[in-house]
Amino acid sequence: MKDIRRGRRRVRVLDAVTLDVLPGEIVGLAGSAGAGTTAVLHVAAGLTVPDAGAVRLAGAPPDRTRARRLLGFAPAHAVFPPTLTVREVLDYYARFHARGLNRGALARRALELGGLAPVARERVAVLPENWTARLAFAQAALGARPLLLLDQTLSRLDPLARREIAQRLAELAADGTAVLVASRELSVLERLAARVVILRRGAVVHAGPLGALLRERVLEVVLDRPAERPPPGFRATPAGLETDLGAGTVEAALALCRAHRLAVRASHVRSKTLEDVMVRACDGPR
């Protein structure tokens, strides 16, 4: 649990959040603004101390030197010394991870991971956000750290860069790196994450593997006129209605619409998306 003070009030930003990330696994964190995804990453990185509960990285608290050497963290708004070049920034961080290894080799590997060769000699002060996000990822991954925490790093990339970095993350995970990534780009988490954890107001409202979830089907129904009241199991949409089919059939769902005397113009079956899951999980009062 974690509370913060806002004026005279104490506000709970995390509430009994429990999650684990295994070697070689990519876990996605999703939630609307203020849901607590950044707070989770800050607690995991040892930047914030929870009021209750515990965090362990390979058995050690995150504030221990041993644990800090295991994780790389890319914050949502990474800041680097503006007068240094991209290569100089990576050289600087490589000093903390060399431990007998070739510092230059570590920096070159990080430069390659981030796809930063075109801007290696550019000063950080002139970098567009897209390249700063790449640098944040490269710094976090520097030294082959076995746990990566990424806060909105993918959300700050353009589509081509996002796909490239997502591929690098998949390769790191295949080599055994554990990745916990928060992103507003839910389509990226759909392609990348093995599991997803959805937060709402600091609490976990959904957690589970994505594979089976995204194979589920949704029936979309377009109506000639809005339904006064959706049939059982249906949800209103701007175009009409929709429902999760589950083990049911399209024919049975459409028959229910006809039984409620709804004028069906068209229907379409699509796969469920992570956005569907998040909207449903975060719907309603709490």
CATH code at position 36:
3.40.50.300
Residues 44 and 165 in one domain: yes
Same domain, 165 and 264: no
Contact of 29 with 181, CB cutoff 8 Å: yes
- For residues 33 and 118, membership in a common domain is answered with yes
User: What spatial distance separates the first Cα and last Cα of the chain, rounded to whole Å?
Assistant: 17
The verdict on 112 and 231 lying in the same domain is: no
d(CA 242, CA 147): 40
Instruction: For residues 223 and 267, give the distance between their C-alpha atoms in angstroms, rounded to a whole number.
Output: 9
Same domain, 163 and 226: no
Domain that holds residue 265: 214-282
Strand partners, 240: 222
The CA distance from 204 to 3, in Å, is 16
Beta-bridged to residue 264, according to DSSP, are 223
Query: Of the residues 158, 189, 209, which one is the last residue of a structural domain?
Result: 209
Task: Report the pLDDT value the prediction gives residue 5, as an integer from 0 to 100.
Answer: 43
CA distance 270 to 266: 13
Same domain, 221 and 235: yes
pLDDT score recorded for residue 279 = 81
Counting Cα atoms < 13 Å in the Cβ hemisphere of 226 gives 6
**What is the rounded distance in angstroms from the CA atom of residue 102 to the CA atom of residue 49?**
34
Tell whether 115 and 97 lie within a shared domain: yes
171 and 196 in one domain? yes
Domain boundary residue among 209, 240, 268?
209
- pLDDT computed for residue 44 by the predictor: 84
- Rounded Cα distance, 124 and 78, in Å: 11
| Residue in the block written with tokens 């003070």 | 5
220 in the same domain as 204: no
Detail the DSSP E strand segments found in 129-232: 147-151, 178-182, 195-200, 203-209, 217-223
Q: How many domains does the chain have?
A: 2
The candidate with the shortest Cα–Cα distance to 254, out of 246, 211, 78, 245, is: 245
pLDDT value of residue 11: 43
- Yes or no: say if 113 and 168 are a contact pair by the CB < 8 Å rule: yes
Pair (167, 218) in one structural domain: no
Q: Residues 171, 223: one domain?
A: no
> Are 102 and 120 in the same domain?
yes
Query: What does the alpha-carbon distance between residue 202 and residue 18 come to, in Å, rounded to a whole number?
Result: 11
Domain end, chosen from 192, 209, 226, is at 209
Compute mean pLDDT per 10 residues along the chain, 286 residues long, and list them: 45 69 93 85 82 72 72 91 95 76 84 95 95 96 90 93 94 94 90 90 84 83 90 91 90 93 92 84 64
At 100 the pLDDT is 53
Tokens representing 212?
Answer: 């089976």
Q: Where does the chain show beta strands of DSSP type E?
A: 2-6, 9-14, 26-30, 71-74, 147-151, 178-182, 195-200, 203-209, 217-223, 235-236, 240-244, 264-271
Strand order in the sheet with 264-271: 235-236, 240-244, 217-223, 264-271
